[in-house]
Amino acid sequence: MNIVDLIIKKRDGGKLTKEEIDFFVNGVTDSSIPDYQVSAMLMAIYFQNLDNEETSELTLAMAHSGSTFDLSSIEGIKVDKHSTGGVADTTTLILAPLVASCGVPVVKMSGRGLGFSGGTLDKLESIPGFRIDVSEEQALEYAKTSNIVLMSQTDNLTPADKKLYALRDVTGTVENIPLISGSIMSKKIAAGADAIVLDVKCGSGAFMKDYDSAVALAKTMADIGKSVGREVTAVISGMDQPLGMNIGNSLEVIEAMEILKGNVGGDLLEVALTLGAYMLISAKTADSVEDGKAKLMENIKNGKGIAKFRELLIQQGGNPDIIDDYSLLPLSPEKEVVCAEEDGYVYSMNTAEIGRASLETGAGRASKADSIDFGAGIIMKVRIGDTVKKGDAIAEVYSAAKEKCLSAANYLKGAVSIKEEKPEDVRLILDIIK
């Protein structure tokens, strides 16, 4: 088989066979196909797409390009969760302990943030002492004793995806539904769970800006799940404003703890409860969304959720005292308050630009090699539909340096639009795809 022939076949709209896809993925994994030919194939796929069968074959080949995690020694139905990425989306830190406290094992490999979207691993690392590098053996032990592990991907999980993603990132081939689906689902399949709940974000702060493309992405991932016998439920949720009020690593940990303690609610809690309820349904621990949400809320009220979070911290070396003393978490010293420049309604937000403002504070990374400031970020003070008066605070910005605060504040001013006209209600849960 010759890679040039395969590139030409895809370039001209042909359908790749399983053998051809396996040849391509093997060549990516062992580097026998040079980056320039892999990139050419990615661009051919970007323009010609893959059909469902090709997408499933690509996903399976990527899932088996390295080691896979065998969770069969853990009792019960194991359910994983994945978000396609958003701003102020810290649902994992809320629902993982809540779902685990309902008796369902949660073994979750998470990723780092890139660009405007945050990552669970960075948030966990803002907790003094917390270890995200957990061996597979250790993870199985943790899951058997506490029902919960939050960890980084092991080194040899889906090496083909690591190489392909790095090349897609620099060749303008990220935004393609078969490639995004293959990338996400290969990692989820290799991570071993029996069922997967996906949070497919849709709106100005998501990869998928409109409802139709979010649904197409969700359906493609659900079809892949079906082809490999894993139950997939996709929740399409809105990302037309930051999901929570805090953006930035330690700030998001604080908001997650406030929710677990039952002190605050809002959209972040609602999305966490919805995803968590579908996780309980997949694990046969709830028989409806209402039942699932009620069970999760019960464990917020009786303190079992925050107790499970404490158990997670102790298990993985994190300082559990942060739960009662937020000053033990980093907070950057410089502060700038962004104020409304006129009276009116908060009409709309450009969420990607708010994510960009958070990058300016030092809370995120523009490229993989960048280091991040765990104590930097933004606390939003308003949501779409709120009324404000000129001079009211719309956000607080925290950073290590004054100029970074000012630059982030500038982005924020451009990202939040205030008008006399009342905006339409923002929809939070747009659809459920099975």
Which spans of this chain sit near ligand URA (rule: CB under 6 A)?
84-85, 165, 174, 180, 183-184
* 321 HSE (CA, 13 A, CB side): 7
347 by Cβ neighbours in 10 Å (0-12 / 13-18 / 19+) ranks as middle
Q: Which is nearer to ligand URA, 184 or 323 (CB)?
A: 184
Give the C-alpha distances (Å, rounded to integers) separating 237 from 199, 211, 295: 7, 9, 21
Give the active site residues. Answer: 82, 161, 168, 183, 187
Q: Which one, of 67, 69, 93, 64, lies nearest residue 253 by Cα?
A: 93
Q: Residue 357 in contact with residue 376, Cβ under 8 Å?
A: no
Q: Which is nearer to ligand URA, 183 or 348 (CB)?
A: 183
Q: Specify whether the backbone of 36 is left (phi greater than 0), alpha (psi in -120 to 50) or beta.
A: alpha
Radius of gyration of the chain (CA): 22
What minimum distance in Å lies between the beta carbon of 157 and ligand URA?
12
What minimum distance in Å lies between the beta carbon of 187 and ligand URA?
6
Collapsing DSSP to helix, strand or coil, 246 comes out as strand
The H-or-E segment that residue 24 falls in is helix 18-29
Question: How is 266-299 classified by DSSP, letter by letter?
Answer: SHHHHHHHHHHHHHHHHTTS-SSHHHHHHHHHHH
Read off the tokens for 397: 């910005």
CA 147 – CA 257 distance, rounded (Å)? 19
What minimum distance in Å lies between the beta carbon of 148 and ligand URA?
22
What minimum distance in Å lies between the beta carbon of 347 and ligand URA?
29
Q: Residue 399 in contact with residue 375, Cβ under 8 Å?
A: no
What minimum distance in Å lies between the beta carbon of 135 and ligand URA?
22
What minimum distance in Å lies between the beta carbon of 241 and ligand URA?
21
Q: Which is nearer to ligand URA, 200 or 257 (CB)?
A: 200
Q: Which is nearer to ligand URA, 58 or 259 (CB)?
A: 58
Question: How is 65-100 classified by DSSP, letter by letter?
Answer: SSB----TTS-S--EEEEE---SS--HHHHHHHHHH
Q: Which is nearer to ligand URA, 178 or 362 (CB)?
A: 178
Collapsing DSSP to helix, strand or coil, 196 comes out as strand
